[in-house]
Chain A
């Protein structure tokens, strides 16, 4: 079966900048595809190509069996005909219209009664009760974000496009809305493409990852395989050098969370709003390796592991360990020689709880 959305489009800008957006969404229904990369990597252009706000110079875009753009045949469906929801970084609420009028803006095709019902439904869904008559300038940042999201969702789009939907908010609001956003999108069962440069946001909100750099897609796929096996150094650099692995939340108490990853149990500070699962992020520099039985230590996490491979990197050696899940450790060449580490050896990996960073996911 054809994927729900296929994007293989190229946009050339005057001055030589080129953006080649090549990725797909396999199935309709709820899933969040994250376009991830540093600023200037072409994420926003890719999103605008999907929206129909940019016209591809080459290639094609198809969604749900409809051709949206085909540069070869000069076909270009305008944004109006694509049945999508688009939320820009600035939210772009109409400043001269009330919140209710903003929500109703895209519902021109409905009779007045149905329009009112839909607006009331969205107001309740997004927790905007009592604010219907306010102008956008009288709303807080978080309220504006939800209002703009509601406006985009009102006509029941078949695809939702979000450009850095949380970046305009202060940090605490961002963290609170991240969880709400994923829950909301799941309930509405709408496929979503989300642009972000924030790795934690990508991990928390995404199902699939499309890594972009220098105007092209470097790698795409479900999040975990992309993090486990970056196809090239550029992807590894963009994703960061950490181990990232999905675990199940076992227990949260006293500010510490216990997360099960394979056989291992890891303790880490509770980031708040933990659900059933969380991504566990560990920097290689924070993983200590010992031989034999570990002595007394303040490290909360001791994992029996086996060395899978050693990769010298200048004065350092990158160890890939199997601790029931793949774990990377970076040690000095000297330490490696002193301990006589080799492939296949059994070791103990030590990790301070504070060195483990949890990102809630579902």
Chain B
């Protein structure tokens, strides 16, 4: 059993989810409420990872992070090691690849909040940010939870982008889905079976927990 790969996968999924929470909340809020005409272009860009083959996305990311690209050069100058084939590079790729899985449920949940409630809050003198925390978030928590779980599970299971950007370096970029692939390549079907079963178990448990929680607590959550 490749515990190291599992640990790496869980760490990657957790960090990706956190980063997407920070990035996805404002982006989804903007998408849900803006009246700008070019909003559809942003929506299309956010949705790209849903339809692009992971290899295509991975290829572009690889080129962008390469040692000859401005980003790659800056990163190497700052940290002393290249971005491509590193955990940080893998994290950046994961964030981009899971973006629609976070932002789309977030935006749908925000758009479902009655606009009148938000305006009522503004007219009561409550700022936009506090209105977001006191009205929008409590009324859309189910969608927020869905978006976070989807990005976590999706990161756990991603393969193509990880292979392209991360390579297959044990302890740094070898995630559990890559480990399964390696074990099959090595014709070690027993090990592959154990790893696959573990991933299946983890994924199912996470999803079951979330859906069970949503069922038990239909009432909105109050943060503040």
A residues touching B (Cβ–Cβ < 8 Å)?
51-53, 78-86, 88, 90, 92, 94-97, 105-106, 108-109, 151-152, 154-155
Question: A85 CA to B222 CA in the complex, in Å?
Answer: 24
A92–B138 CB distance below 8 A: no
Contacts of A85 in B (CB 8 A): 123
Q: Of the candidates A79, A90, A96, which one forms a contact with B123 in the assembled complex, judged by CB atoms under 8 Å apart?
A: A79
Complex Cα gap A53–B117 (Å): 12
Chain A: minimal CB distance from B142 (Å) = 12
Tally of B interface residues using CB under 8 Å: 20
Residues in A neighbouring B135, C-beta threshold 8 A: 94
Task: Indicate whether A106 sits within 8 Å of B220 (C-beta atoms), given known contacts A79-B119, A90-B116, A92-B117.
Answer: no
Q: Mark B101-123, 1 if CB is under 8 A from A, else 0.
A: 00000000000001011011111
Tell me the residues in window 129-156 of chain B with beta carbons closer than 8 Å to chain A beta carbons.
130, 134-135, 138-139
**Which chain A residue has the least Cβ–Cβ distance from B124?**
A106
Given A94-B135, A96-B219, A96-B222, decide whether A80 and B120 contact each other with a Cβ distance below 8 A. no
Q: Which of A81, A82, A83, A88 contacts B120 (CB 8 A)?
A: A88
Over the window 21-61 of chain B, the binary record of Cβ atoms lying under 8 Å from chain A Cβ atoms (1 yes, 0 no) is: 00000000000000000000000000000000000000000
- Residues in chain A near residue B206, CB distance under 8 A: none
Asked if A151 and B122 make an inter-chain contact with CB atoms under 8 angstroms apart, the answer reads: no
Known A88-B116, A90-B116; judge A51-B123 contact (CB<8 A): yes
Distance in angstroms from B49 CB to nearest chain A CB is: 33
Among B122, B220, B222, point to the contact of A79 (Cβ < 8 A): B122
B contact residues around A96 at 8 Å (CB): 138-139, 219-220, 222
Within 8 A of A (CB), among B180-215: none
Which chain B residue shows the least CB distance to A82?
B123
Q: How far is the CA of A340 from the CA of B90 in the complex (A)?
A: 100
Q: Can you list 11 A-B pairs with a CB-CB distance of less than 8 A?
A: A52-B123, A53-B119, A78-B122, A79-B122, A79-B123, A80-B125, A86-B119, A90-B116, A92-B119, A96-B220, A96-B222
B126 at the interface (CB under 8 A from A): yes
- Across the interface, which residues of A come within 8 angstroms of B69, CB to CB? none
Give the residues in chain A near B220, CB-CB below 8 Å.
95-96
A105 touches B126 (CB 8 A): yes
Tell whether, in the assembled complex, residue A155 and residue B124 are in contact, meaning their CB atoms are under 8 Å apart. yes
New A-B contacts (16) at CB < 8 Å, excluding given A80-B123, A106-B126 = A51-B123, A79-B122, A80-B122, A82-B123, A85-B123, A92-B120, A94-B135, A95-B220, A96-B139, A105-B126, A108-B125, A108-B130, A109-B125, A151-B124, A154-B124, A155-B124
**A155/B125 in contact, CB under 8 A:** yes
Chain B residue nearest to A78 (CB atoms) is B122
Give bound CA distance, A78 to B125, whole Å: 9
From B114, B117, B125, A106 is in contact (CB under 8 Å) with: B125
Interchain nearest-CB distance for B217 vs A (Å): 12
Q: Which residues of B contact A94 (CB under 8 A)?
A: 117, 120-121, 135
Q: Give A342 to B180 CA distance when docked, in angstroms.
A: 106
Minimal beta-carbon separation of A323 from chain B (angstroms): 47
| Residues in A whose Cβ lies below 8 Å from that of B219 | 96
Chain A residues with Cβ below 8 Å from B130 are 108
Task: Report B-chain residues with C-beta under 8 Å of the C-beta of A88.
Answer: 116, 119-120
Knowing A96-B138, A96-B222, the reply to whether A105 touches B117 (Cβ < 8 A) is no
Q: Give the CA-CA distance A86 to B121 in the complex, in Å.
A: 10
Cα A92 to Cα B121 in complex, Å, equals 9
User: For residue A95, which residues in chain B have a CB less than 8 angstroms away from its CB?
Assistant: 117, 139, 220
Which of the residues B116, B127, B138 comes within 8 Å of A80, measured between beta carbons? B127
Residue of B nearest to A161 (CB): B123
Option from B114, B125, B134 in Cβ contact (under 8 Å) with A92:
B114
Tell whether, in the assembled complex, residue B123 and residue A86 are in contact, meaning their CB atoms are under 8 Å apart: yes
